[in-house]
Structure 1
Amino acid sequence: MTDSDRRFPRSVYRHGDEPDARFSLANERTFLAWIRTSLALLAGGVALETLGLGLQPDLRLAASVLLIVTGILTPIQAWLGWTRSERALRMNRPLPAAHLALPLGIVVIVVGVLVLLGIVLA
């Protein structure tokens, strides 16, 4: 059994050659940053709904749900992004783009608008 057969996920490690460890560690730090972002989105959604903050209830709920759903989906991006990047590193190919970055930015803008409207209309 080779070293690549023992490592998870095999779909990543069975391809190409071992890259410089610094690049793999940087890829792992990016993965963990996405996980921290997910936790922040979840915490923000829970806090927004739990604390109430005197916002218009329907807009507050919409913003909370949007944050929580995005927080649930973000680890999927983290995992897929990590695997695509690690495979690209191993195959000496260009790194792929983060597909969730733009939608995540849009969600934050929409949540901000919902909270702003929730304050104004309260």
Structure 2
Amino acid sequence: MEGKEPDPRFTLANERTFLTWLSTSLALTAAGVAIAFVPGDGGLPWIRTPLAVTLVLLGALAAATAYPRWRRIEAALRQDGPLPPPVIAPVLGYGVAAVALLALVGLLSFR
């Protein structure tokens, strides 16, 4: 990358953020797989698949965007430019909210 070497604290903070995005991705994917494949007596089968698919897609999206975001931030640090906004954050936030609402519908329907 071109530009001057940034303060190591900022580079390491950027790396920790990258790893956190990957951890979030793994957690979302694991939750989706668990909903899809762990047998259980409760819950409605029609709601398990949409929940699982949504969680796995959100996990894949978080993982796919983690490295490009790390690169953009690293470049901005090296060029003393403004940091790019987290474009994926609203998608993940609204996606998790949609999963929560779908789960709530499933819970209320199960009664």
TM range (shorter): over 0.9
Count residues in correspondence. Answer: 109
The answer as to whether partners of 1:57 and 1:118 remain within 8 angstroms in 2 is no
Residue 17 of structure 1 is matched in structure 2 by: 4
1:66-95 per-position Cα deviation (integer Å, ceiling 9, x unaligned): 000111111122111100000000000011
- Percent of aligned pairs with the same amino acid: 45
Instruction: Kindly indicate whether residue 14 of structure 2 is the aligned counterpart of residue 27 of structure 1.
Output: yes
Q: Name structure 2 gaps, 5 residues minimum.
A: none
- The TM-score, its normalising length taken from structure 1, stands at 0.84
* One-letter amino acid matched to 1:66: T
Q: Name structure 1 gaps, 5 residues minimum.
A: 1-12
Residue 65 of structure 2 is matched in structure 1 by: 77
Bigger CA radius of gyration: 1
Coordinate RMSD, CA, aligned: 1.1
* One-letter amino acid matched to 1:79: Y
> Where do 1:54-73 residues align within 5 Å?
54-73=42-61
